[in-house]
Amino acid sequence: MSRRAHGPLFWRVYLHGVLLLLVVAVAVAGVGFALRRGSGWWSQRGAGRYAAERVGELAGDPPRLAAELERAREAFGVEASVYGPGGGLVATSVRDPAAAARADGRRRGWTVPLRGGGTLVVHSPPHDPARGLLFIGAVLAALAVASYPLTRAIVAPVERLTAAARALGAGDLAARANVRAHGELGELGRSFDEMAARLEALVRGERELLANVSHELRTPLARIRVALELAAEGDAARARRYLGEIGQDLAELDALIEDVLDAARLEARGAAALRNEGHPVDLAAVAEEAAERFRGAHEGRALELDAGSGLPLLRGDAVLLRRLLDNLLDNAAKYSEPPAPVRLSVRAEPDAAVVEVTDRGIGIPAEDLPRLFTPFFRTDRSRERGTGGTGLGLVLARRIAEAHGGSISVESAPGQGSTFRVRLPAPRE
């Protein structure tokens, strides 16, 4: 995503932070000014003690008194003046003695009477508003500069998420926020990217499904068209040779359409609705029915059935569960040769029932296992309709298992056969 100028959100957050800093600076300045005026470096008690002990001793010696006041000004930064009984200026540490003389004791400050008469006036330090404002401005500028990275760190992930969401809504399925922040914003960014990845995979899967269905339809439709053209030309003998293949094609097309429709119904219905609306299912009875259908459809193939006792009643759709077992058994028969038997076992586990279909066939290469449940994927890379099937059997089996809250896994090795394992959780009472 390209870098762009800061948006309104950035400036709202940034200016809000600057406003808060301004309020804090004004408050600190007000408190500091009040404390400065209220306490100063010298309390009134300290001024009285100083007047009683030191200033009173030197009241009769103006030069020494002036020197003492000067030392106090240099040491503590405070200016003071001593006025005689008549109000005249005796000594001062004010930088402008003429102004102190004209003030006649009326300058702002603390007034402390002396023992022998006269008055000590401790003047307030001069207040420079310009320096205070300059200090506040400098603090504000420093804080504003320092808060820029913080504001950017908060707003940048939000801006990236907004841009990615806008791109995703416009049809760019590859759009990602790529937020690397920590905390809640980072978690939000990662969740968005995961959602976008799932959405992209879903759309890509739907497109691949459409392309593969189109491919599967092309061959039988071409054969039917050829047979019709030959029949129209009067070549009945050649057209008759296509009838057997056309019948097989139509049967596989019917199976393909049924698989696609079942998968679409599962997606539309949803797993939660299936579990809520389902009925109690005796899995042992479903396995026995599946075994009977397998023996009828694959004459001469040996099937070992092991339906254990104590199986929990499942909640779901018996028809779909029979379809799941049929697909797994047909897949085992397809990738194993007689007289190798196929084994179907059903056993109980704590809070679940486990179904296993095992064959002793060609097995599955390790590199093919991650793609085994991809629509129209065949491990033998064959597109021949006699051995490849529709390529949706295992996909539909997985969707049925997941719709019942379960899972499906496979263990296989080339030349040693495969075992498909389905775990279906039992409903809680």
Nearest to 109 by CA among 81, 134, 83, 137: 81
**Measured distance CA(216)–CA(212) in Å, rounded:** 6
pLDDT in tens, 300-341: 888 999 987 788 888 888 888 998 999 999 989 888 888 888
pLDDT score of 16: 66
Nearest to 82 by CA among 134, 49, 123: 123
Q: Tell whether the model's pLDDT for residue 418 goes beyond 90.
A: yes
pLDDT score of 39: 44
pLDDT score of 97: 63
**Measured distance CA(422)–CA(287) in Å, rounded:** 13
Asked, colleague to colleague, whether 183-268 and 272-425 share their fold, the answer is: no
**Measured distance CA(170)–CA(324) in Å, rounded:** 38
CATH number, domain 183-268: 1.10.287.130
pLDDT score of 408: 94
pLDDT score of 5: 57
**Measured distance CA(343)–CA(329) in Å, rounded:** 9
Q: Tell whether the model's pLDDT for residue 115 goes beyond 80.
A: no
What 8-state DSSP symbol labels residue 52?
A: I
CATH number, domain 272-425: 3.30.565.10
pLDDT score of 385: 45
pLDDT score of 249: 75
pLDDT in tens, 197-231: 888 877 877 777 777 777 777 777 887 787 778 77
| Amino acid present at 257 | I
**Measured distance CA(370)–CA(389) in Å, rounded:** 20
Length of the chain: 429
pLDDT in tens, 273-296: 565 566 888 999 999 999 999 988
Q: Tell whether the model's pLDDT for residue 105 goes beyond 50.
A: no
Domain boundaries, the chain: 8-37+129-169, 44-123, 183-268, 272-425
Q: Cβ–Cβ contacts within 10 Å for residue 50, how many?
A: 18
Q: Cβ–Cβ contacts within 10 Å for residue 358, how many?
A: 20
* Residues 160, 1 contacting (CB under 8 angstroms): yes
